[in-house]
Amino acid sequence: MSKYLIGLTGGIGSGKTTVANLFAELGIELVDADVVARDVVEIGTSGLTQIAAHFGKQILNQDGRLDRVALREIIFSEPKERSWINGLLHPMIRTEMLNQLASTSSPYTILVAPLLFENELDRLVNRTLLIDISPEQQRKRTINRDSVTNEQVEKIISSQAPRVEKLLKADDVIDNHGKISALKSKVIALHNNYLKLSNNA
């Protein structure tokens, strides 16, 4: 792909969305893997039809939409089912992401992907940006935000690559333990650097 792409990632509760929105405020287009993942299982999609056929109608809410809480409990407690769902959805998500990335027009584009390294999506981008916080803060933020149990958070964190591994792989790192004002200045500095890199690409 000829466009200059930045892969933005971080563990659950790290603040990826906050950082991505700050880049968007600077006029940078985003392609969000989580949004794409929701789109491919909307009502009427092949993805949702196959999930319902595999797990049964109990995986659906009363309105026919996917019950994400029920699915999350299944796939984080049964590795075999997680492998099945990944095998089904990852190709669909990847195809749609590539389509969206190809249609952007900002100086560079950000691919927001929680599992950037785990799913080898870093191969698609020119540079990677990790939003980093401690595991303790991850747990606290996620429990407060999503009203999930500590056990569920632990399962999600353990399914993602270790923090040290991601720190070693990332080209750029934003430490997100501070205030939003500090975050904004870090984003602006990176934005200016990415503009230069995209111009020279």
Per-residue pLDDT of the chain (201 residues; tens, 9 = 90+): 568 999 999 988 888 999 999 999 999 999 999 999 999 999 999 999 999 999 998 999 999 999 998 998 888 889 899 999 999 998 999 999 999 999 999 999 999 998 899 889 999 999 999 999 887 777 777 667 766 677 777 777 777 778 889 999 999 999 988 777 789 999 999 999 999 999 987
Look at the alpha carbons of 113, 115, 119, 125 in this order and tell me if their dihedral is positive or negative.
positive
> What's this model's pTM, rounded to 2 decimal places?
0.83
CA angle, 112 then 114 then 119, to 5°: 100
Annotated ligand binding at 142? The verdict is no
Residue 18 labeled ligand binder:
yes
**Sign for the pseudo-dihedral over CA of 68, 32, 177, 184:** negative
Q: Consult the annotation and say whether 3 binds a ligand.
A: no
**How many C-beta neighbours within 10 Å does residue 171 have?**
13
Coil, helix or strand at residue 29 = strand
128 is in an annotated binding site: no
**Per the annotation, does 17 bind a ligand?**
yes
d(CA 71, CA 192): 41
Q: How far apart are CA 60 and CA 52, in angstroms?
A: 7
What pLDDT score was predicted for residue 148? 67
CA torsion sign for 116, 119, 124, 126 is: positive
**CA-based nearest residue to 27, from 93, 97, 110:** 110
In Å, what is the CA distance from 87 to each residue of 46, 90, 199? 14, 6, 37
* Angstrom distances, CA of residue 51 to CA of 17, 32, 69, 86, 115: 27, 22, 14, 11, 21
Report the pLDDT value the prediction gives residue 143, as an integer from 0 to 100. Answer: 67
Question: Annotation-wise, does 9 bind a ligand?
Answer: no
Reduced to 3 states (helix: H, G, I; strand: E, B; else coil), residue 101 is helix
